[in-house]
Amino acid sequence: LTFLWRQKKLQSVYETQVVTYLPFTLFPSPVPKAALLQALAVQTHFNTLVDKISQDPDFLGEALDRTIQADDFTAKLFGIYKTVQQEGRTQSIVMGLIRSDYMVDQREDGTPSLRQIEINTIAAGGFGVSDQLPVVHRYLMLINHGDESKRIQDQSRTREMTAALAKAWELYGQQRAVILFLVEDMQISKLTHRYIEKELWKRNIPVIRRKFDDVSRKGSLDGDKRLFIDGVEVAVVYYRYGYMPDNYTEQSWDARLLMERSLAVKCPDISTHLAGTKKIQQVLAKPGVLEKFFPEQPEVMEQIRATFAGLYTLDMGPEGDQTVAKALTSPEKFVLKPQREGGGNNYFGEDIVQVLQAVKGDKRRAAYILMDRIQPRTEQNILLRKDLPLKLTSVCCEIGVLGAYVRHGGEMVLNEVTGHILRTKSIKNNDAGIIGGVTVFDNPLII
């Protein structure tokens, strides 16, 4: 053993097989009831909106045109989208498992208002293992505060999110076909994936887990574009990976294209992935744009718009110039966002000035958008995660509302709000991220 350890072999096995608890807060954090209800009430409309955007090539093309000239990652995704578009769509079953995130902005006059931070359309997480957290928090509240425990709601979000995967599988209509979980090399959320997998096995839906590398070595399409891997047909590809540039090698890009061209249902397909970019979020906030998607439902449009924060273009032109000027004058009022996911990519304060000074004169600036900075309520809590000190901390919270939909051709066969999550971080951190080591799971204590 010592020999193997010195050879680094055992050491690497040990280091890659660590299991630790899900990071969480010791207590639930207060969340205003009206804000949470508002976020839950608008979710099915966001599901519809994301789906509509994904079906609108003109809108996607126009909205992302300058961004893809400045951002290589978005350009690569867009390249796959174009290829699939030109070949013609093969699959009329479309689905989304998405999460819309919010903070409660504490205005100067004291009124709280719900503000959307972003929508995640690929590998949206937060359900799975965390479904146990209400039980933990309710128990802690029960022993400390008696009846208060009733203010923590139960969650069956994994079962409900899984129902959409099951529906898509069922519509695909091949009893022996599997759902493929496309997973990361370093499988940080594996136990959550297993939670989802268990729900699927309960319905006799087989699951396989594969990496991009497995797909590039062993994946193939038959004459009807059915996707096969290791001899089994794939009904649904569920991406839990593939949302960041460093998730990809040249071969993985080919594997992604192979899957996108296939008859398998993709969760999400490439156009739904693109619908979740920060650039699309910014374009949606422009006057007149939401109207196009909900021409006959002004009340729906208003409900969606009521959650938007100020969002500003950085495309070349007078409007973008104004954005630059505004950001350079008062950087503390804004967040600068590139087209990235997973936390830790945004710029705050003086960093905004540095980045903008470097790119403000040319089209590279179109890789970013600018957003009003939200000032969330501050709470006190204890963050339990093995890399943080155990102490009472000033924290702020981000609500996440989960949504699931399945469309078959022109018909929405499932459109649900499937639960909510709460994630909490120290106010000392500007950006966030569960995997990045900043954020922990929490539960809203309804106030």
Q: Is 373 in the site for ligand ADP (CB under 6 A)?
A: yes
The C-alpha torsion from 310 through 269 and 121 to 436, rounded to 10°, is -120
**At a CB cut-off of 8 Å and minimum separation 6, what does 395 contact?**
25, 29, 378, 379, 380, 381, 383, 424, 425, 426, 427
Please identify, using beta-carbon distances, which residue of 265 and 402 lies nearer to ligand ADP: 402
CB atoms inside a 10 Å sphere around CB 219: 21
Name the minimum Å distance from CB 244 to Mg ion: 10
Work out which of 69, 106, 187, 345 binds ligand ADP, going by CB under 6 A: 345
Name the minimum Å distance from CB 332 to ligand ADP: 11
Each residue 257-296 as x (binds ligand ADP by CB under 6 A) or -, in order, gives ----------------------------------------
Name the minimum Å distance from CB 318 to Mg ion: 30
Alpha carbon distance 376, 30 (integer Å)? 12
Residue 171 binding result from Mg ion, ligand ADP, none, given CB thresholds of 5 to 8 Å by partner type: none
Residue 373 among known ligand-binding residues: yes
Please identify, using beta-carbon distances, which residue of 166 and 371 lies nearer to Mg ion: 371
Name the minimum Å distance from CB 368 to ligand ADP: 12
Short-list 436, 447, 444, 426, CA closest to 381 = 426
Name the minimum Å distance from CB 120 to Mg ion: 4
Work out which of 30, 61, 342, 437 binds ligand ADP, going by CB under 6 A: 342
Q: Is 120 in the site for Mg ion (CB under 5 A)?
A: yes
Each residue 101-140 as x (binds ligand ADP by CB under 6 A) or -, in order, gives x---------------xx----------------------
Of 70-78, 213-221, 259-267, 340-348, the window that binds ligand ADP (rule: CB under 6 A) is: 340-348
Beta-bridge partner residues of 368: 338
Work out which of 51, 71, 160, 341 binds Mg ion, going by CB under 5 A: 341
Of 114-122, 143-151, 175-183, 413-421, the window that binds Mg ion (rule: CB under 5 A) is: 114-122
Alpha carbon distance 182, 185 (integer Å)? 10
Work out which of 346, 381, 415, 424 binds ligand ADP, going by CB under 6 A: 346
Residue 322 among known ligand-binding residues: no
Short-list 316, 310, 302, CA closest to 286 = 310
Name the minimum Å distance from CB 20 to ligand ADP: 22
**At a CB cut-off of 8 Å and minimum separation 6, what does 89 contact?**
none
Q: Is 341 in the site for ligand ADP (CB under 6 A)?
A: yes
- Decide: 441 and 399 in contact? Cβ < 8 Å: no
Structure-block tokens of residue 8: 């680094």
Contact positions vs Mg ion (CB under 5 A): 118, 120, 341
Annotated binding site for Mg(2+), which residues? 118, 120, 341
Residues within the interface to ligand ADP (CB under 6 A): 101, 117-118, 309, 335, 337, 340-343, 345-346, 371-374, 398, 431-432
